[in-house]
Amino acid sequence: MNRVDHRHRHRERIAEVRAGTAAEKVGYPIRVRAAVVVRTAMVGSGLLRVTLGGPGTAGFEAHAPDEHVKVLFPDPDGTLRLPEPNGDMLRWPKPSPTSREYTVRRYDPVTGELDLDIALHPDGLGSDWARAVEPGAVAHIAGPPGGLIVPHNYDRYLLAGDLTALPAIARWLEELPRTARGWAFIEVADASEHIELSAPEGVEVQWLHGAEPGLLDRAVRAVRVPEGERVYVWIAGEAGSIKPLRRWVRDELGLDKTDHDITGYWKRGVVDFDDEHDD
């Protein structure tokens, strides 16, 4: 009896969605990996890049700009409890081990290097770890569980977010076709948090400075999509500040659910916040 090899079916599906007309979340086989910290470096004044490598990152899956991994941390008593493989999924211990989610900024299949750009917050578990970790240390990561695959045939793309969304926006801009058109709005504290971006010429990038309430909201709402054009909208950041944009996308732009993704990456005053999606 011949066995059918399903190992790469998700890659076939990714190619189909990319060539289609509607975005779709596609799952990848999920793994737990023991990666070695290669180096750390600041990217602008707000992001600390932790580069992972070693045998544990071989065969890593990277297909979507906003895909993420979980960095797993020991319990307060020092015990490290890891999920176990369960086919293409993971079986998580209960209670779940402490973890923090980070966007996959870059994966190089040749060198095996994996970059995580971590927004620095005072007294944050992930921030403290990133500041203190040294080359040679082992970091356990789980994922990505999949990614949102967006076709490259929209007329325009609208990307918006704060510092926590900057790694995903940077990757979005790198991976869009060079012929893509649209807008990217990035809210940061000041010019010191700017990073180098590789945006298509047709994508207008606007940096927004300061913590003024509604700054990002007002900038995004000023966009005018030419009549008859299809636009894809991706927005992420502080859950409360982007909430009005959910209504704007739905009620004023009139976009279908497959034409936008809006995610609360964090919530002011909440230490361990789970992503809040618009679907």
Q: What is the CATH number of the domain that holds 258?
A: 3.40.50.80
| Cα gap 228→28, rounded to integer Å | 35
Residues 98 and 176 both lie in one domain: no
- pLDDT computed for residue 276 by the predictor: 52
Q: Tell me whether residue 279 is in a domain.
A: no
- pLDDT computed for residue 57 by the predictor: 97
- pLDDT computed for residue 78 by the predictor: 94
In tens, the pLDDT along 168-211 reads: 999 999 999 999 999 999 999 999 999 999 999 999 999 999 87
Query: Domain boundary residue among 147, 166, 194?
Result: 147
Three-state secondary structure call for residue 237: strand
Q: Which helix (H) or strand (E) is 245 found in, with range?
A: helix 239-247
Q: Which residue stretches of the chain have pLDDT < 70?
A: 1-7, 269-279
| Alpha helices by DSSP H, 2-122 | 9-18
Residues 115 and 204 both lie in one domain: no
- pLDDT computed for residue 124 by the predictor: 86
- pLDDT computed for residue 211 by the predictor: 74
Do residues 140 and 69 touch, judged by C-beta distance below 8 A? no
Which pTM does this prediction carry? 0.93
- pLDDT computed for residue 266 by the predictor: 86
Do residues 125 and 73 touch, judged by C-beta distance below 8 A? yes
Q: Tell me whether residue 139 is in a domain.
A: yes
Residues 22 and 129 both lie in one domain: yes
Specify the amino acid at residue 70.
K
Residues 188 and 235 both lie in one domain: yes
Domain range holding 49? Answer: 7-147
| Cα gap 271→279, rounded to integer Å | 23
